[in-house]
Structure 1
Amino acid sequence: MTVVVRMLAGRILALIPLLLGVILFVFIVMRFSPVDPALAAFNGANATAAQLQQFRADNGLLDPLPLQYVHFVWHLLQGDFGTSVITKEPVGQTIATALPLTVQLTLLGLLIALVLSIVLGVTSALFRDRWPDHLIRVVTLAGVAAPAFWIALLLVQWLAVGQGLFPTSGYVSPADSFSGWLNSLALPAISLSLPVAAQLTRVIRTSMVEELDKDYVRTARGGGLPPVVVVGRNVLRNALVNPLTVLGLRVGYLLGGAVVIETMFALPGMGQNMIQAVQDGDTAKVQGFVITIAVGFVLVNLIVDVLYLIANPRLRSHS
């Protein structure tokens, strides 16, 4: 496994400058934002110029930007995301409360997307150029073109308002009721998952078609192996290697889409809290949320890279 270990070590080392670059980008954007943390801290009160200047001095806002960045990174390394200028609470505490819900929504959406895409992608490839394939391709094309918030509006109108099967908003903790938790996250997760499922279906279909046309498949079928064994044991396993490279980007789409979907369904996750922080001008919260989501996206792609390195038979053959 020396090749895999060496490549994995290279991926991990590459994360360090990448994460520092992400933090630098967020830091610069927030520092040049028109929102003044001092004004937001006094929340519209008639603060004097001296009070505003004192607040900036106390919070290091008058220091040179390079020094502010060094202090910012140093505090981040200690797990300190700063303090909200509105609520006066540690930003890390808010993130620790909101992040689990966003992770639950993202993972549930990913699970739905994977199940749908594998079933539809394999079916489309096995019935290539026949009516099931044509139907699935039309449906996935529509799914790729439809944004998650538009799908959410349709699902709410149809299944929540029209049929009364799901709530239109709110969140139930799985510790209180698993069925209630699943019911509260069903529509948001489906809304997030359908565009991702459509994109992955097209990738899986293409990969399956390429795999089905290879010589070893014809040899196995000619040797009398049942099609179910050939497809399930060899073709599907090999065909899912390439879609792994796309999966990391799709998880990033789920994390980004959660910002809008959580707001639509009044879910107290990272997305809704970040929108509220933007409206309040709470720069500490905004940069904390953005950095957390960005770091999550980078780590998810690292995990996908690891899975790809493990699953790729060509890399295993060099071990």
Structure 2
Amino acid sequence: MIILRMLLGRVLSLVPLLLGVTLFVFIVMRFSPVDPALAAFDGANATDEQLEQFRRENGLLDPWPVQYGRFVWNLLHGDFGVSVITKQSVGDTITTALPLTLQLTLMGVVIAIVVSLLLGITSAVFRDRWPDQLIRIVSLAGVAAPAFWIALLLVQWLAVGQGLFPSSGYVSPQDSFSGWLNSMTLPAIALAMPVAAQLTRVIRTSMVEELDKDYVRTARGGGLPPVVVVGRNVLRNALVTPLTVLGLRVGYLLGGAVVIETMFALPGLGQNMIQAVNDGDTSKVQGFVITIAIGFVLVNLIVDILYVIANPRLRSHS
């Protein structure tokens, strides 16, 4: 009941947040120098009458409050509009592209969690010794390195240099699971490394704080093996703070997928959004940005729930 009550409160608080996101996207797109009417005719010699007719038929001449109300009403009914370039439903394009972006993001999250747990726990257990010093240097370099630079290095070393992975392209898992894994590995690693580096530092700090507490010394003094102490008590308590950081960084992964998908020619939301920006397709850009924003909000809602579940003290006071 506590979790359900908290979930209801979080969902209700998301309503004004999502409205704010839609308003922000709507205003930004209306201030864009791109004219949807000109983009629709794609450089053709359209007359002023044709442009005026297009704007009238698509409601572009209506007052902004009316346009925004129609925009939100359509979103509530799952209608993201129609592309002014291709005349296809934006929702259909999102439905086609979103699974690939989710695959890439999920692989990035898994890689980031596994790497950060291994390095963070090792760094904390061997505090102030050479493994700790080495991991801290590597994690600091990972935080400073942008994902696109890591992607370039991976392509240079493992794709072009060694030929172990393809440098671009996408293979559906339905066609070939091994081909899909090969095509997604380098993009997922490039996307995950900056997040793994930051999580490693957060996990190390949380672990060190827990290892210095009295209950750990008592457990060790009672003869419990270090593996049991760390795995059963310290790790569970130390992961509360990294959970919050992970939720924020998943949003970074969704945003970072825009660049990574373009670099590796992956037909996900990112590459489609870049193409829509180049084409001046404002309807598609709006739909893609709203989708990514909603994904970010939902991920943080899930992290909030996991935070309460992982923290007994917070759950007991909720």
* TM-score where L is the length of structure 2: 0.99
Paired AA for residue 92 in structure 1: G
Query: 1:137-160 CA deviation, whole Å, 9 max, x = no partner?
Result: 000000000000000000000000
Pairing 1:24-63 to 2, within 5 Å after superposition: 24-63=23-62
Paired AA for residue 139 in structure 2: T
Whole-Å Cα distance in 2 between the matches of residues 73 and 7 of structure 1? 26
Paired AA for residue 271 in structure 1: G
Q: Tell me by how many angstroms 1:190 deviates.
A: 0.2
1:202 equivalent to 2:201? Answer yes
SS, match of residue 242 in structure 1: helix
Paired AA for residue 42 in structure 2: N
Q: Which runs of 5+ in 2 are unaligned?
A: none
Paired AA for residue 274 in structure 2: I
Match for residue 311 of structure 1?
Answer: 310
Pairing 1:92-241 to 2, within 5 Å after superposition: 92-241=91-240
Q: Tell me by how many angstroms 1:318 deviates.
A: 3.8
1:91 equivalent to 2:90? Answer yes
Whole-Å Cα distance in 2 between the matches of residues 273 and 233 of structure 1? 45
Whole-Å Cα distance in 2 between the matches of residues 105 and 117 of structure 1? 18
Match for residue 256 of structure 1?
Answer: 255
Match for residue 17 of structure 2?
Answer: 18
Query: 1:104-142 CA deviation, whole Å, 9 max, x = no partner?
Result: 000001100000000000000000011100000000000
Whole-Å Cα distance in 1 between the matches of residues 236 and 171 of structure 2? 37
Whole-Å Cα distance in 1 between the matches of residues 6 and 72 of structure 2? 28
Q: Tell me by how many angstroms 1:245 deviates.
A: 0.8
Whole-Å Cα distance in 2 between the matches of residues 228 and 268 of structure 1? 44
Paired AA for residue 98 in structure 1: A
Say which is worse superposed, 196-205 or 8-17, in terms of deviation.
8-17
Whole-Å Cα distance in 1 between the matches of residues 316 and 168 of structure 2? 51
Match for residue 297 of structure 1?
Answer: 296
Match for residue 276 of structure 1?
Answer: 275
Alignment length, in residue pairs? 318
Query: 1:239-288 CA deviation, whole Å, 9 max, x = no partner?
Result: 11111111111101111110000000000000000000000000000000
Whole-Å Cα distance in 2 between the matches of residues 86 and 291 of structure 1? 19
Whole-Å Cα distance in 1 between the matches of residues 5 and 264 of structure 2? 44
Q: Tell me by how many angstroms 1:7 deviates.
A: 3.1
Paired AA for residue 169 in structure 1: S
Whole-Å Cα distance in 2 between the matches of residues 318 and 146 of structure 1? 40
Whole-Å Cα distance in 2 between the matches of residues 316 and 13 of structure 1? 19
Q: Tell me by how many angstroms 1:8 deviates.
A: 2.8
Q: Tell me by how many angstroms 1:317 deviates.
A: 3.2
Query: 1:24-71 CA deviation, whole Å, 9 max, x = no partner?
Result: 000000011100000000111110001101100000000000000000
Whole-Å Cα distance in 2 between the matches of residues 173 and 212 of structure 1? 45
Paired AA for residue 27 in structure 2: I
Q: Tell me by how many angstroms 1:92 deviates.
A: 0.3
Q: Tell me by how many angstroms 1:178 deviates.
A: 1.1
SS, match of residue 61 in structure 1: coil
Query: 1:299-318 CA deviation, whole Å, 9 max, x = no partner?
Result: 00000001001111102334
Whole-Å Cα distance in 2 between the matches of residues 212 and 8 of structure 1? 32
* TM-score where L is the length of structure 1: 0.98
Pairing 1:65-76 to 2, within 5 Å after superposition: 65-76=64-75
